[in-house]
Amino acid sequence: MTEPKEESGFTVTFEPECGILVCRLHGFLDEVVAARLSQELAMKIATVRKAGLPLLYLVDNCRGRVASPAAAKALGEKLSGSKRPGDRTAIVVPDSLCKLQAKRVATTDNAVFLSENAARTWLLAHVPSGGGVTPTPVPSATGA
């Protein structure tokens, strides 16, 4: 018996109270899903820029899988093309092995974490004082 195929997708939200753009991935990221994600990110990044804020980007990949090479390249190009001084990216992964893999490509303006709260703390620590943003703790996940 074959197991049902997990549907891939994402959600992208901007949290104006803390200035964080949150992207939650689930399933395998192929070129089609990556193209939709790229469009959604472009709109949300425009919202952040319009507000005059740095891009504080949190990627939750705890339910995600490996992206296809073409999808990863397309998203990487989209994000690198929109980077400005003060922008930060925090990536949340489910385990230490994923963290080690992700850290291989990390730069000074991004970091990899095992918890969303740690990622949010790191992002907000880089906001200039008086920025009007405060950490928003995330409740612990329960159940399956």
The domains found in the chain, sorted by start residue, are 12-125 (3.30.750.24)
pLDDT in tens, the chain (144 residues): 555 555 778 999 999 889 999 999 998 888 888 889 989 999 999 988 988 889 999 999 999 877 778 887 777 777 776 788 889 999 999 888 777 777 766 677 888 999 999 999 999 997 765 444 444 444 433 333
The CA distances from residue 10 to 7, 13, 27, 28, 135, in Å, are: 10, 10, 9, 10, 23
- What residues does 60 pair with on adjacent strands? 24, 92
Neighbours of 44 (CB within 10 A): 18
Tokens 């992208």 locate to 12
Alpha carbons 23 and 60: distance in angstroms, whole number: 6
